Amino acid sequence: MPVPPPAPAAPLTLSGTYFDGRSSQPWPATLETGPGGRATLTLAGPGPSPEPAAPLHWPAAALRAEPALPGLRRVIRLPGGGRFETGDEAGVRALEARTRQNRVLGGVRRLEGSWALTLGATAALGLFVWGFLTFGLPALARSTAAVTPVAVLETFDRESVRLLDTDDFLAPSRLSAARQAQLRREFARVSAWAGGGYRYRLLLRDGEPAHAPFALGANAFALPGGTVVMTDQLVALARSDRELMGVLAHETGHVTRRHGLASVYQGLGLALLGTAVTGDLVGAATFAAAVPSTLLQNGYSRRAETEADERAGAYLLRAYGTTRPLRDILARLEAQDRAGEGGPEPQDSASPGDLLRTHPGTAQRLAHLREIENAAR
């Protein structure tokens, strides 16, 4: 935009009402802005004293025009606490242009004035919200998760395990001590490969205790700090330990890519946004309280699953030369799940782990694992 020359503008005269800021008495007055950038206020009639009041002078730049509001007279704040009200919208606009005030809020006022612009703004808003929730917030959450110190992750693990154990989601494993030790030894190889400075540990638990609010069933999931939980039911479902190691490698993929923390941040971000927009802390607090359970029940995005599968595929190829073990157990899990849905005890909502999070995607996941294997040949 070209800088306007110091305008030798024509004098601008507004007529309206003056308040001196010290009493509630209105005075009819005129406010004149001369060519020299000098503003003069003159009372139209007699002032408080019988003799005519002397005109008041300020530099025009010291006048503060209040932003326009629909249906209301314009207000100009004067130095010293006085104010001048006028119905001369065009005049005040000229003054605003001359002193370069309210450019942003003047634009807001234009938006507010038209139905078409208002509805356009609403559509833009909807588009923005959609875009932010779909791309912006996840990206923000991922990058925040990436820079979170490991100490925070470990606290998160500790609290989550405490919650899972005290709320009866999980019971102590029924596997023999020898079997548990064997699985841990094998997991140590996986976790050594996964690396990243996390304190990995494998927790074996019974996923179907008697009083559980819902049964986890055959499942495995990773907490952000490196704690991986695997249920006895999954161990029973596996036909070989290779399959189990495929699953565990998948879980270490969630850990190293920090998917768990990212989804927590995503939930917190939603709550924060809700607060900012509605100004309602209570609603946001309620929402925030639901974050841990959201994490449990919604699991990860398909993108996160793909990333974790790629890590698992890399491990399996390196250890066994094939991605087949993970494909086998995934296919068996889905078959079991499908049978379960038709059976007497539906368990769809009862599966909060992440292994089969993206139901319709299992076929693609199997295909992708096969691709990984083919690519390695």
Partner 1 sequence: MSLPTDPAPVSLGKDPPDAAPDANTANGPVAAQVQVFPAHFSGQAGEYFRLWLVNLALSVVTLGLYLPWARVRNRQYLYGHTWVDGHNFEYAANPWALLRGYLLVGVFFGAYSAATQLQFSGWEWVAGPVALIFVLAYPWLVRQSLRFLARSTVHRGLSFGFGGSLGGAYMAYGVANVAAGVSFGLALPLAWYAQRDYQVRGLRYGAATGRFRGGPGGLYLIGLTALGLTVGGGLIVGVLSTLGAVLLRSGQTAPFGDEFGDILEQPGVLAGIVATYLGFLVLYMVGWQYVRAATLRYVLNHFELGGVVRARATFSTARLVWIGVSNAAAQLVSLGLLTPWATVRRARYVAAHTQVLSLVDLGTFVAGPAAPAGALGEAATELLDINLGF
Q: Which residues bind partner 1 (CB under 8 A)?
A: 19-26, 67, 69-73, 75, 82-83, 105, 108, 111-115, 117-118, 121-122, 124-125, 128-129, 152, 155-156, 159, 268, 271-273, 275-277, 279-282, 284-285, 288-289, 291-292
Report which secondary-structure segment, H or E, holds 27: strand 27-33
377/372 Cα distance (integer angstroms): 9
Beta strands in 56-196 (DSSP E): 56-59, 64-65, 74-77, 83-86, 171-172
| Closest C-alpha to 254, from 230, 226, 295 | 226
Question: Closest separation between CB of residue 46 and partner 1, Å?
Answer: 14
Taking the least distance from each CB to partner 1, the nearer of 134 and 155 is: 155
CB-based burial label for 227 (10 Å; 0-12, 13-18, 19+): buried
Please state the closest distance from residue 198 (CB atom) to partner 1, in A. 17
Which distant-in-sequence residues (6+ apart) come within 8 Å of 169 by Cβ? Answer: 209, 212, 213, 214, 216
Residue nearer to partner 1 on the CB measure, 21 or 35: 21
Please, which residues bridge with residue 16 across strands? Answer: 29
- Residue 169 Cβ vs partner 1, minimum distance, rounded to whole Å: 18
Residue 84 or 315 having the CB closest to partner 1: 84
Cα distances (Å, whole numbers) of residue 3 to 8, 36, 46, 114, 290 = 14, 19, 42, 29, 54
Residue closer to partner 1 (CB basis): 84 or 187: 84
What is the rounded CA–CA span in Å between residue 144 and residue 140? 6
Residue 221 CB, nearest distance to partner 1 (Å)?
18
Least spacing, CB of residue 115 vs partner 1, in Å: 7
DSSP string, 193-254: HH-SS---EEEEEES--TT-SS---S-EEE-TTSEEEEEHHHHHH-SSHHHHHHHHHHHHHH
What minimum distance in Å lies between the beta carbon of 98 and partner 1?
A: 23
Q: Which is nearer to partner 1, 108 or 367 (CB)?
A: 108
Q: How far apart are CA 334 and CA 358, in angstroms?
A: 11
Q: Which residue, 93 or 98, has its beta carbon nearer to partner 1?
A: 93
Question: In the complex, what is the shortest distance from the CB of residue 133 to partner 1, in angstroms, rounded to a whole number?
Answer: 11
Specify the residue, 38 or 73, whose C-beta has the smaller distance to partner 1.
73
